[in-house]
Structures are given as structure tokens and as C-alpha cells.
Amino acid sequence: MSTGLVDRDERTGAVENASYRWSYLVLSFGLLGIAAFRAFARGEATWDLLALVVLGGGVNAAYQGSHRILSQRWFLTAAVTFVLAALVAAGMILVRGHR
């Protein structure tokens, strides 16, 4: 029997996955916050930052989809989120007025 230390176990994988999740959340919401500041305070276009957020989520979904781990609930949640985001965007356009 070996007396060497184990380099990796289930806990290591779980902690790594949690750290990746936190990093993704910080980056995504940080980019959204910077985009909101640019848009509302400076009046600048923020498509580049918003595209990074959407692309990051798209890569994640594509990777999980290729490994067939997405559930029916995931698709329903994504659809509801998409519809709500479209409604909020339409409401913001109506309130601010189309330029």
C-alpha cells in the first residue's frame, strides 16, 4: 500500500468548480456593471462588453450541451429569462424614447 498523499479527490474538483463559478459570476456581473455605467453615465455604446457576457454564457451552454448535461428545466429557465430580458429591454426603450 502506498503512503503517498493524494493529489486530487472529489473535494478538490468540487472546490475548483465552485471557484470557476464565482469567477464567472464576478466577471459577468462586473462587465454588466461597467456596461451600465458606460451607457447611462457616459452615453457610450456598450455592445462590445454585452457581447462578451453573452458569448461567455453561450460557450458555457454549448460545452454543457455537447456533453448532454442540460435538462428540460434548463431550457425552460433559459426561455423565460430570454423573454423577460426582451420585455425589460422593450420597456427601457419605451421609457427612454427611441433616439
pLDDT at 2: 65
User: 18-53 burial, b for 16+ CB within 10 Å, e for fewer?
Assistant: eeeeeeeeeeeeebeeebeeebeeeeeebeebeeeb
pLDDT at 11: 85
pLDDT at 7: 76
Q: What angle do CA 92, 28, 57 make, to 5 degrees?
A: 90
pLDDT (tens, 9 = 90+) of the chain, 99 residues, equals 566 776 778 888 889 899 999 999 999 999 999 999 999 899 999 999 989 988 988 998 999 899 999 899 999 999 999 999 999 989 988 988 766
